[in-house]
Amino acid sequence: MGTSVDLKAADGFVFPAYVAQPAGRAKGAIVVIQEIFGVNSHIRSVADGYAKDGYLAIAPATFHRVKPGVELGYSPDDMGAGMALKAAVEALPAPGVLQDIQAAIDHAAQAGKVGIVGYCWGGLLTWRAACELKGLSAAVAYYGGGVTTPGEIARKPKVPVMAHFGDKDKHISIDSVEAFKKAHPEVEVHIYSADHGFNCDQRGAYDAPAAKQARERSLAFFAKHLA
């Protein structure tokens, strides 16, 4: 359904992004930020899903600065490889990969107002984008690893934010989610009876009812803020 385009960041770095076009005129755009597994078949299907709902969807390859062509599965070995790549990207000098996300936002703006959604590490990058980047109108973070740490809680979002968490998530404690909620009453926080990664139908943690409810809420949120 989608195609690959090359984008150029402010520092001249060129990297690919997966783009899915809606059937008719776009009602806005959504930047889809990958997990630690690359722009794999799941992330492409997420982008395709938003395109079916009428948005131009673009998923930038946020690992490209450290390793091109990353497309992992969800085995323990894949998890380890993804964690190492994430650490390498996080170690880049500022602004690091945020400038690539900015390039994706700028490209997406051709379709109107731009939202951003991210999963796992992508949820963390989505939160940072909502606080640091320009050109966004809304942000949705799914189980963003690190979002509820004190350093990230200290950030202030520039745009409306929705955040989804699972109460069975061993990576993000409910206590830390409550601290995030208390610090950010302006953020719409939803907690599900689900595990980390509950949106991904290729993972054992997939929870269809939670994924459906979270997606419905996300679509309503984008419809409100990207109109």
Tens digit of each residue's pLDDT, the chain (227 residues): 799 999 999 999 999 999 999 999 999 999 999 999 999 999 999 999 999 999 999 999 999 999 999 999 999 999 999 999 999 999 999 999 999 999 999 999 999 999 999 999 999 999 999 999 999 999 999 999 999 999 999 999 999 999 999 999 999 999 999 999 999 999 999 999 999 999 999 999 999 999 999 999 999 999 999 99
Q: How much is the pLDDT for 106?
A: 98
Cis before 95? omega within 30 = yes
Q: Which residue has the tokens 């930038």?
A: 60
Count of CA atoms in the C-beta half-sphere (13 A) of 187: 30
Distance CA 222, CA 23 (A): 18
Q: How much is the pLDDT for 184?
A: 98
Domain residue extents for the chain: 3-226
Distance CA 88, CA 80 (A): 13
The catalytic residues are 120, 169, 196
**Residue 164, strand partner residues:** 142, 190
Is the model's pTM score more than 0.95?
yes
Q: Name the CATH code of domain 3-226 (choices 3.30.420.40, 3.30.70.1140, 3.30.43.10, 3.40.50.1820).
A: 3.40.50.1820
